[in-house]
Every structure is written in structure tokens, then in C-alpha cells.
């Protein structure tokens, strides 16, 4: 078997030089002598046969070859760190911490019981939960910020299991001008009024979802804020039925009589960031989420129409 000429330590030193801006700064950050840092990078460049660094002003920056090689090395370094974390988890029995990203669409009556079950099974494991909207889960997975995600789609490069399907119903307050028209509504009717939409919490490739044809929109970050804005008569919007069914029954909200498109559906998926490296606590949390999602589906009352 062919042996690698370079070591992870050399790549870590190079990474630190680029991050800190120079040899002296990297030596201080890594608690090493500057001569040892310089020697390791010189040895790395000699072993590879290419220049990796170049001086630009007072900072050391990567050459084009260095950018390509360090980018690939960072992926391998991250995988190596995950393997070490996996080994520590196996030694301890459970991970010290599990990181979860949950789309805001996931029903709270399913989420909280799942977290309660997880706590009873893994009392010594910390939970870091990121509440995200739309592509925020994609960012968390691609950025290796979580071990597990509940997301509205399965990003490229990952595999996911279907959890549930949510319904979105076009609604407004009972006294909203759209209801006063007293007929089936068309797109032209909606364009005249304010629509409330949720802001995508992702940064890499944020997206808009739902009809966005209104000339004026209010963009908010939390579904509760969107619901409140509609209840107060400030806007109309497509709202998750499992969040507003009680509000409709109580008369605070009223579905809009759209001629087309009053109801739309969206799926949620359970995604393991790396199934091969998932520890026992991560897998336990995934099972809890599956069980509670199934329980929620069995009691969910679908929207029956206006």
C-alpha cells in the first residue's frame, strides 16, 4: 500500500498560517516556535514539489496551487476529526453532544415529545438545536454544523427519509378586504394586497417559496409572526394548517376562497449528515423524531376546504 508523504500536522500548520496571516502569528496561535512552523511548511512544499504560499504585503497567501490543495486537504482533515470524535463517542458509549437543525415547519407537538424521549434515553448528551427556515437546513448540513436535520428538501449529496407532509392554506383575517369581495378570488385580486412571507434563514442559496405575486410583501423570520400579522389584518398569506387550524375554528382567521391554488403541500425529510459516522445518540434522536412524526400523522386532521 502506498504511503502518503505528507502529514495532517503539516496541513494544519499551513491552514493556520493562511488563517492568521503569517508564520509568526501561526506560531503564536499554535504555541510553537516560528522556526518549526517555517520548517514544516518548507518540508510540505518540498514533498509536493509545488509552492503553496506567497507573500502579499505583510500577509502570507496561498498560491493558486495552494488554494486547490488546501481546499481538498481541509475536507480530509474534517473527515479525520469526525472519525476521532466518533472514536471518543464509542469509548464513552454516547456522544457528548448532538447537533440538530429543524425546519420551522416541523410541528411542535411532534418535536417536543421527540426531544423528551431523547432526553430520557440519553440524559448525559447535550443537544444543540438550530431552528431554521427553508435552505437553512441545507447550510447546516453542507457546513458540517449538525449531525442530523429535519429539512424541507434533501440537499444534493445527502440521503433523507420522508417524515410528513404539511399543508399550507391561503388565509386572511375575517374582515380583510379580500373576504368582502364575496366571490372566488383570482391572482389579480391578491396582487392588490400585502402578502406576508417567511424569510429563508439560509445564506448559501436562499430561496423564495409560495406565491410571490403581490406588489407589496412583508418578510418575517418566524411563522408565529406571520400568523399574527394575518390575524391582525395587515396581510394575507399561505400558513401551515397545523399551526392555524385552532385560529380558524376560533374565527381569528378565515381561508381565502381562491379559484386556484388555495392549498399547497410541502414535505419534510429526516437527514443524517453522515450515516456511516452517526453515533448512538444521533441515531436515537433520529428514531425519536421518526416515532413522534408518525404519531403526529396519525392524529392530524387535514384541511377540508372552505
Residue 232 has pLDDT above 70, yes or no: yes
Enter the pTM of the model: 0.71
Does residue 291 sit in the same domain as residue 223? no
Confirm whether 1 is domain-assigned.
Answer: no
The more confidently predicted of residues 141 and 7 is: 141
The residue-averaged pLDDT of 46-64 equals: 87
Q: Which three cell numbers stand for residue 188?
A: 389579480
CATH number at residue 294: 3.40.190.10
Confirm whether 119 is domain-assigned.
Answer: yes
Residue 229 has pLDDT above 80, yes or no: yes
Does residue 241 sit in the same domain as residue 289? no
DSSP run (H or E) holding 219 = strand 217-220
Measured over the CA atoms of residue 65, residue 66, residue 67 and residue 72, the dihedral's sign is: positive
Does residue 113 sit in the same domain as residue 197? no
Confirm whether 2 is domain-assigned.
Answer: no
CA 269 – CA 149 distance, rounded (Å): 8
Does residue 59 sit in the same domain as residue 106? no
Question: Can you give the pLDDT at residue 173?
Answer: 98
Name the one residue in this structure whose C-alpha cell is 381562491.
Answer: 258
Residue 266 has pLDDT above 90, yes or no: yes
Does residue 294 sit in the same domain as residue 159? yes
Does residue 86 sit in the same domain as residue 98? no
Q: To the nearest 5 percent, what fractions of the chain are helix, strand and coil? A: 45, 20, 35
Does residue 24 sit in the same domain as residue 109? no
Residue after which a domain boundary falls, among 45, 72, 91:
91
- What total of structural domains would you count in the chain? 3
Confirm whether 306 is domain-assigned.
Answer: no
Question: Can you give the pLDDT at residue 69?
Answer: 81
Question: Can you give the pLDDT at residue 156?
Answer: 93
Tell the burial category of 207 from Cβ atoms under 10 Å away from its Cβ (0-12, 13-18, 19+): exposed
Domain containing 204 equals: 165-266
Amino acid at each position: 500500500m502506498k504511503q502518503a508523504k505528507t502529514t495532517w500536522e503539516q496541513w494544519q500548520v499551513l491552514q493556520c498560517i493562511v488563517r492568521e496571516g503569517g508564520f509568526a502569528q501561526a506560531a503564536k496561535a499554535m504555541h510553537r516556535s516560528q522556526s518549526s512552523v517555517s520548517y514544516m511548511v518548507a518540508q510540505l512544499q518540498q514533498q509536493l514539489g509545488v509552492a503553496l504560499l506567497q507573500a502579499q504585503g505583510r500577509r502570507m497567501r496561498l498560491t493558486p496551487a495552494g488554494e486547490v490543495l488546501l481546499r481538498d486537504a481541509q475536507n480530509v482533515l474534517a473527515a479525520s476529526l469526525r472519525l476521532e470524535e466518533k472514536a471518543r463517542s464509542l469509548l464513552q458509549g454516547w456522544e457528548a453532544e448532538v447537533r440538530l437543525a429543524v425546519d420551522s415547519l416541523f410541528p411542535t407537538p411532534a418535536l417536543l415529545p421527540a426531544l423528551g424521549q431523547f432526553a430520557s434515553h440519553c440524559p448525559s448528551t447535550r443537544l444543540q438545536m438550530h431552528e431554521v427556515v427553508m435552505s437553512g437546513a441545507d447550510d447546516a448540513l453542507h457546513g458540517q454544523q449538525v449531525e442530523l436535520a429535519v429539512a424541507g428538501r434533501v440537499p444534493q449529496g445527502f440521503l433523507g427519509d420522508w417524515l410528513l407532509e404539511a399543508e399550507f392554506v391561503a388565509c386572511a383575517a375575517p374582515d380583510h378586504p379580500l373576504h368582502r369581495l364575496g366571490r372566488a378570488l383570482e391572482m389579480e385580486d391578491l396582487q392588490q394586497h400585502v402578502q406576508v412571507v417567511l424569510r429563508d434563514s439560509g445564506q448559501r442559496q436562499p430561496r423564495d417559496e409560495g406565491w410571490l405575486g403581490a406588489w407589496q410583501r412583508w418578510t418575517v423570520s418566524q411563522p408565529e409572526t406571520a400568523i399574527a400579522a394575518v390575524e391582525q389584518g395587515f396581510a394575507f398569506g399561505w400558513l401551515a394548517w397545523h399551526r392555524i387550524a385552532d385560529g380558524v375554528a376560533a374565527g381569528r382567521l378565515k381561508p381565502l376562497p381562491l379559484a386556484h391554488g388555495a392549498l399547497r403541500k410541502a414535505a419534510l425529510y429526516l437527514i443524517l449528515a453522515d450515516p456511516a459516522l452517526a453515533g448512538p445518540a444521533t441515531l436515537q434522536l433520529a428514531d425519536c423524531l421518526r416515532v413522534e412524526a408518525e404519531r403526529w400523522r396519525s392524529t392530524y386532521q387535514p384541511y377540508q376546504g372552505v
